[in-house]
């Protein structure tokens, strides 16, 4: 009877030892697996979110900068071109008008002078 008790006691001891060992091993394995999985998932999610946010911010900033630069350049170019064109056109028109007016005045003066000269003679 004592041997049976000893066998039962040893059996229970071995069973508890194996049970604890297996339980700890499984617990550690599951814990590490879950921890790594959650860590990778969170890391990837944060990385993608930050990457997209930075990418959009840089893209918008560059786009606005290029757009403003091109707009100012085109505006200045068109403004200068129109200004020069209008200035030249007005200048030529005024110059021709003045030249024609002076030419007519000279002709009238010459005609008047001839008329007076003929009248005197």
For the chain, the 3-state helix, strand and coil shares in percent, each to the nearest 5, are: 100, 0, 0
| Average pLDDT estimate for 65-88 | 92
CA distance 77 to 50: 40
- What pTM does this model have? 0.41
Q: What percent of the chain has pLDDT over 70?
A: 93
pLDDT score recorded for residue 59: 92
Q: 14 vs 1, which has greater pLDDT?
A: 14
Please report which confidence band the pLDDT of residue 57 belongs to, taking 50, 70 and 90 as the band edges. very high
pLDDT at 26 over 60: yes
| Average pLDDT estimate for 61-83 | 92
Q: Buried b vs exposed e over 56-81: b needs ≥16 C-beta within 10 Å?
A: eeeeeeeeeeeeeeeeeeeeeeeeee
Q: Output the average pLDDT for the chain.
A: 87
| Average pLDDT estimate for 94-100 | 91
Q: 78 vs 116, which has greater pLDDT?
A: 78
Please report which confidence band the pLDDT of residue 20 belongs to, taking 50, 70 and 90 as the band edges. confident
């Amino acid at each position: 009877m004592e041997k049976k008790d000893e066998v039962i006691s040893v059996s229970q001891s071995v069973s508890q030892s194996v049970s604890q060992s297996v339980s700890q091993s499984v617990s550690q394995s599951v814990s590490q697996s879950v921890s790594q999985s959650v860590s990778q998932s969170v890391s990837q999610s944060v990385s993608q979110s930050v990457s997209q946010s930075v990418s959009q911010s840089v893209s918008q900033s560059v786009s606005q900068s290029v757009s403003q630069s091109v707009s100012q350049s085109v505006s200045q170019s068109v403004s200068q071109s129109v200004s020069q064109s209008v200035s030249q056109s007005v200048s030529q028109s005024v110059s021709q008008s003045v030249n024609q007016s002076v030419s007519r005045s000279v002709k009238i003066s010459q005609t008047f002078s001839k008329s007076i000269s003929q009248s005197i003679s």
